[in-house]
Structure 1
Amino acid sequence: MDHSSDSKRAPELVFAEPTPLGLLGLALGCAALTPIAFGASLTPEGLRTAAAFCLLFGAGCQFLAGIMNFANKNLFGGTLFLAFSFNWMLNYMVLSGLAEGRAPDHGVLLAADACALVIFVVFTYGFGFFSKLLFLFLLDIDLLYLGKVINGATGTAALNLPIAVFTVALGVLSLYIAFAMLINPVANRRVFPVPGPAYRPAPATGFDASVRRTVLEILYRHFREHAFQEMPRDDFLRESRARLGEINVQPDVFYLAERRLVSITPAESPAWLKSLRLTAEGVDLYERTALGKSGSL
């Protein structure tokens, strides 16, 4: 057995993608907190009920998602979900205490919220490298915690309504991202569109094949729907920008054309391209490398 080739392969996932589980738990936790955030259900029964949701869904689902993300070698996902799960366990303790007439220490909570705000701001920057939607998701958390810190520092409840709105928005964003991750792969199309990165990292040393893989993936999806009918330039650029941001794909498209994997219909400069499609060789290459096809057909 040739172990040298095995060592170059990406490690196999230990678990199926756990992120939707964490997001659905987060959404249910936010839903349980929504009446309280808007000033309703402030009875012992309401507080205890919300506390149970915080523990089981807010903390429990995100704890599982965090552990499984770490097992899958996902540093960002594991760190965020685990840190957030303990925060939701704190929500459980606070609500349970309030239901029994015990209030938490104001100074301790304010200091912890201020620290959490700093942490989530840094996370927001990091997740912008993955998707604009994830950036918005973390930005909502930032604004929620900013409102809590301002309320706590000033001793007022002036931002209670914005905090409640941000809580609802967090639940909605969590549901949308979870649905996108669950449904889009099953439907094999973007039922729930997810935009590309908010910004790109510095160019890595060495060769990066992600742009060419993305071009082939976009054109293969078009092939499955339209066979060898060419994809209009505007449609292709819209798809590529959603996936890759403002990266210039022209060199990679022409490279793939030189390899006879892509057929293009040129246009006058500056458009450079009228339409394009995969060739049979391009379809075969994509199915072999991305879909694991074996054999000649």
Structure 2
Amino acid sequence: MSEKKPDAIADPGPLGLAGFGLTTCVLSSINAGLLPGADIGVVLPLALTYGGTSQLLAGMWEFRKGNTFGATAFTSYGAFWIAFYLLVTHISSLGSATGAGVGMFLLMWGIFTLYMFIGTLYLNRALFLVFLFLTITFFLLAIANFSGSSPSIGGWTGLLTGILALYTSFAGIVNTNANRVVVPVGSSILKPR
């Protein structure tokens, strides 16, 4: 009896990037001062569903496809958005979170993102830029929380990060449907062996 081959699945990358990019743009608009801080409630449903759950699912599908980078990235950032939702919605029951506590939360995500960024040296330039600006964003937001200063610079870099993620998602959708490169993402900086 022959072994049945697993069914092919669609690329979950564009879904994960869209969930990340859209949610990041909305939160970063608040951090940059384009929207008032009182509008944080608009981010929370996105953080739980599109940024959180959709990315978590995309990560599981990346595991299925054998893509370690995509699986680690989408699962982790999906968990980030769910943790963000819980942090904001449960802050009163947890006691007030200090700037240092939130700063440490963001710093550790910055460190994680930095090593994921190094992995993008072997991927396309669009992902390289997403992770470069995400690394910068986390570190700027961590510094703002540690120092008690405005998160606006981190908000602007976060907005750029979200736009780059949406562009990369768009490229994945269009290029897959066209069965050729229509929207460029650029070649990798380093060539895999």
- Bin for the TM-score computed over the shorter chain: 0.7 to 0.9
CA contact (8 A) 1:50 1:95 kept: no
Amino acid at match of 1:197: S
Post-superposition Cα deviations, 1:169-199, rounded to whole Å, max 9, x if no partner, equal: 1221111111111111222332211111111
**1:38, CA displacement in angstroms?**
2.8
Residue 15 (structure 2) aligned to one of 21, 35, 47:
21
Q: 1:195 to 1:42 in 2, by over 3 A?
A: same
**1:91, CA displacement in angstroms?**
1.9
Amino acid at match of 2:10: A
Q: 1:104 to 1:200 in 2, by over 3 A?
A: same
For 1:144 and 1:180, the matched residues in 2 are separated by: 23
Residue 125 (structure 1) aligned to one of 108, 115, 118:
118
Question: Equivalent residue for 1:153?
Answer: 146
CA contact (8 A) 1:128 1:199 kept: yes
CA contact (8 A) 2:99 2:148 kept: no
Amino acid at match of 1:164: G
CA contact (8 A) 1:47 1:99 kept: no
CA contact (8 A) 1:26 1:57 kept: yes
Q: Secondary structure at the match of 2:122?
A: coil
Report the RMSD for the aligned CA atoms in angstroms.
Answer: 2.6
CA contact (8 A) 1:32 1:54 kept: no
For 2:19 and 2:36, the matched residues in 1 are separated by: 21
Question: Equivalent residue for 1:31?
Answer: 25
What residue ranges of structure 2 are gaps of 5+ in the alignment? none
Q: Secondary structure at the match of 1:190?
A: coil
Amino acid at match of 1:31: C
Which TM-score applies when normalising by structure 1?
A: 0.58
Q: Secondary structure at the match of 2:36?
A: coil
For 2:92 and 2:47, the matched residues in 1 are separated by: 14
CA contact (8 A) 1:13 1:72 kept: no
Q: 1:122 to 1:55 in 2, by over 3 A?
A: same
Q: Does 1:41 align with 2:36?
A: yes
**1:47, CA displacement in angstroms?**
2.2
Post-superposition Cα deviations, 1:213-266, rounded to whole Å, max 9, x if no partner, equal: xxxxxxxxxxxxxxxxxxxxxxxxxxxxxxxxxxxxxxxxxxxxxxxxxxxxxx
CA contact (8 A) 1:184 1:191 kept: yes
Post-superposition Cα deviations, 1:39-80, rounded to whole Å, max 9, x if no partner, equal: 32322xx22221111111110111110111112211110111
**1:12, CA displacement in angstroms?**
5.0
The structure that has the greater radius of gyration is 1
CA contact (8 A) 1:24 1:174 kept: yes
Q: Secondary structure at the match of 1:26?
A: helix
For 2:84 and 2:191, the matched residues in 1 are separated by: 35
**1:13, CA displacement in angstroms?**
5.7
**1:141, CA displacement in angstroms?**
0.6
More helix by share: 2
Amino acid at match of 1:130: L
Residue 190 (structure 2) aligned to one of 196, 199, 216:
199
Amino acid at match of 1:42: G
Residue 134 (structure 1) aligned to one of 127, 142, 154:
127
Compare 139-148 and 11-20 and name the one that shifted more: 11-20
Q: Secondary structure at the match of 1:192?
A: coil
Amino acid at match of 2:22: L
What residue ranges of structure 1 are gaps of 5+ in the alignment? 205-297
